[in-house]
Amino acid sequence: MGRYRSETERAVAVADARHGGMPRRDFLRGLAAAGAGGLFAAALGPAQRAIAGRPRALSAAETFPDGLVAGDPQPDGAVIWARVARPDDAAPVAVAWMASESDDFATVAAGGLVSVGADSDWTAKLRVRGLLPDRWYFYRFTAYGIESRAGRLRTAPRPSAAPDRLRYAFASCQQRGIRGVDGLESLYVTHRAIAADAPDFLMHLGDYVYVSDGGTITLDQYREVYRRFRSNPLLQDLQAAVPLVAAWDDGEFYNGVDRTGPPARLATARRAWFEAMPVENDGSDRTYRRLAWGRLADVLMLDTRQYRDPEVPANARFNFLDAQDSRVTPGEQMFDPARTTLGAAQRGWLETELSASRAAWRLVGSSYNVTPWRIRDEDDHTGLLTGDPRLARNEGVYVSNEAWDDYQAERRALLRYLEQRDVRNNVFTCGHTHFYLASELQPDFDDAHSPTVAFDFTTGSQTADPDPRELAPETILRAAEIAFLRANRPFMKWVDLVYQGFALVDVTPEECVVRFRGVDTFDPNAEAFTFAKFRVASGSRVLEVLEPD
């Protein structure tokens, strides 16, 4: 697939922070003198074109209806994004952009012009370069003579640097319009709480939008879903304040998406995602990538959807959850060594990145949980079934969650790869389940002698989809949590089926501390609280459960 860039798109850049930037007045003169001509006048001068029947947009919010967002921090810059209002004549629109270390933009560190049009749904997305490492910048766009609000972008430390700290949040599943059992709407208040925790970036692990399985087919329909979700002011506030490191899940495509889906629809969904996200596309639609935070951490983002085999269908039921019994067809497919969620190329890339990394920590973003999540263990713990030739290793009844349990051989091989090379300090941060999980990861989770080689932290959903009270009373949910811990001992350390929210990660050379942050999404004034806290000491094979702050 291509980059989806309009033939009319062109960029001009005239400022560079590495040379001290330039006063804003000189920057504007530089744009005018850089051969931009009418492009410069169209972006910064008063608009003469009609938008929605009016001679010009009346406000910044109308001109930039989806807000703006930065993403994928690099030592010399980041990707910045905004969508401008579509003009009635559907012709290309000139957009100016600038970045500055101050919110008054008195000195411009980088900036330029770009022309956007229908091919990209009038989205301006560009890779800012020439900034200094390990610092915050403000940025904004100008179109039709109207300036956007200011956003913030973050540059990463230089590769040779040894930063003493990284803080990031991770989240997923921000459905809109969900109402609870009392009729109240589940609101985007987690977004305000994430911004208040001041992370260096937000790792969003997918279900950023939820398309309609049967009603989102065309490119315009996919684009409209992103516009609708981004119209939320609390999401726009978060996007402006905190850079985004994004992955997709199935909400961006349709439920249960895998590599066998309709090729045209898959390509359309990928195109809409790349148009809407601050992630570069080299033409391959590849989303797995590495972001380095100096010598402190390598951030590895996975794509668990585009290359995966279909999920193993549920064949059982456990109270309010669908389940997979590995003893009953087609449950045995979970152990098939040919099945993959990563695909051969991505798995090879991941193994190489993990073993070649010289950072203190490897932080891996997976759209769904890596940890096993069993309802009942059938093969080993009681000893009654040991040696039964009808039972495979790790036989049991699992939560049907279309996660890594559907690809157990690949998971075991990946974890064994880490064991054999003694690669430590590997932390997987995951989403999708709508529930919180925390586990130690072992190549064989039923073997007491199998070492812990990584750790899994899975966040709950950002909104109540559904309201857990629709599943069961809280007393039943808390009892189910205890049952899950028993069925997954000793590797699973925490499960929560009640709260919505996000997770917060603080990384230093000595430790990685993860906080599960709960938010009452039915309360418009809710603030986040920490209900669980964990620590992994550098080099340790033990997940410590700490008292919450």
Q: Which residues on adjacent β-strands are paired with residue 112?
A: 13, 97
- Please state, in angstroms and rounded to a whole number, the distance separating the CA atoms of residues 415 and 540: 16
Name the strand (E) or helix (H) holding 137: strand 136-143
Going by C-alpha positions, the residue among 118, 68, 114, 123 that lies closest to residue 95 is 114
Going by C-alpha positions, the residue among 102, 108, 65 that lies closest to residue 83 is 65
- Please state, in angstroms and rounded to a whole number, the distance separating the CA atoms of residues 21 and 138: 13
What is the pLDDT, as a whole number, of residue 7?
A: 30
- Please state, in angstroms and rounded to a whole number, the distance separating the CA atoms of residues 176 and 127: 30
Q: Which residues on adjacent β-strands are paired with residue 202?
A: 169, 244
Going by C-alpha positions, the residue among 316, 419, 271, 428 that lies closest to residue 365 is 428
Going by C-alpha positions, the residue among 197, 193, 213, 203 that lies closest to residue 172 is 203
Backbone torsions φ then ψ of 254, nearest 5 degrees:
180, 165
The CA dihedral of 249, 439, 461, 279, to the nearest 10 degrees, is -40
- Please state, in angstroms and rounded to a whole number, the distance separating the CA atoms of residues 459 and 499: 10
Residue 89 lies in a domain: yes
Q: State the total domains in the chain.
A: 1
For 252, residues 6+ apart whose C-beta sits below 8 A from its C-beta are: 206, 207, 208, 209, 211, 269, 272, 273
Q: What is the pTM of this model?
A: 0.94
Please count the other Cβ atoms lying within 10 Å of the Cβ belonging to residue 25.
10
Structure tokens at 315: 């064949």
Q: What is the pLDDT of residues 51-96, one digit of tens each?
A: 555 555 568 999 999 999 999 999 999 999 999 999 888 889 999 9
Q: Show the CA angle centred on residue 24, arms to residues 20 and 30, nearest 5°.
A: 85
Residue 12 lies in a domain: yes
For 278, residues 6+ apart whose C-beta sits below 8 A from its C-beta are: 69, 70, 71, 72, 78, 79, 80, 81, 125, 243, 244, 246
Q: Show the CA angle centred on residue 38, arms to residues 33 and 41, nearest 5°.
A: 80
Q: Are 63 and 148 in contact (CB under 8 A)?
A: yes
Residue 92 lies in a domain: yes
In terms of residues, how long is the chain?
549
Residue 133 lies in a domain: yes
Structure tokens at 340: 């993959």
- Please state, in angstroms and rounded to a whole number, the distance separating the CA atoms of residues 139 and 323: 48
- Please state, in angstroms and rounded to a whole number, the distance separating the CA atoms of residues 302 and 360: 20
Q: Which residues on adjacent β-strands are paired with residue 323?
A: 316, 399
- The alpha carbon dihedral of 38, 42, 47, 50 has a sign of positive
Q: What is the pLDDT of residues 187-224, one digit of tens each?
A: 999 999 999 999 999 999 999 999 999 999 999 999 99
- Which residues does the chain have with pLDDT short of 50? 1-10, 35, 381-387
Which amino acid type is present at position 87? Answer: P
Domain residues for 78? Answer: 1-156
Inter-axis angle of helices 219-230 and 233-241, nearest 10: 80
Residue 39 lies in a domain: yes
Look up the CATH number of the domain holding residue 114: 2.60.40.380
Q: Which residues of 267-287 are buried (b: 16+ CB within 10 A; e: fewer)?
A: ebbbbbbbbbbbbebeeebbb
CA distances from 329 to 256, 288, 310 (A): 20, 33, 15
For 359, residues 6+ apart whose C-beta sits below 8 A from its C-beta are: 292, 293, 294, 295, 296, 297, 298
What is the pLDDT, as a whole number, of residue 379?
A: 76
Residue 8 lies in a domain: yes
Backbone torsions φ then ψ of 387, nearest 5 degrees:
85, -5
Residue 149 lies in a domain: yes
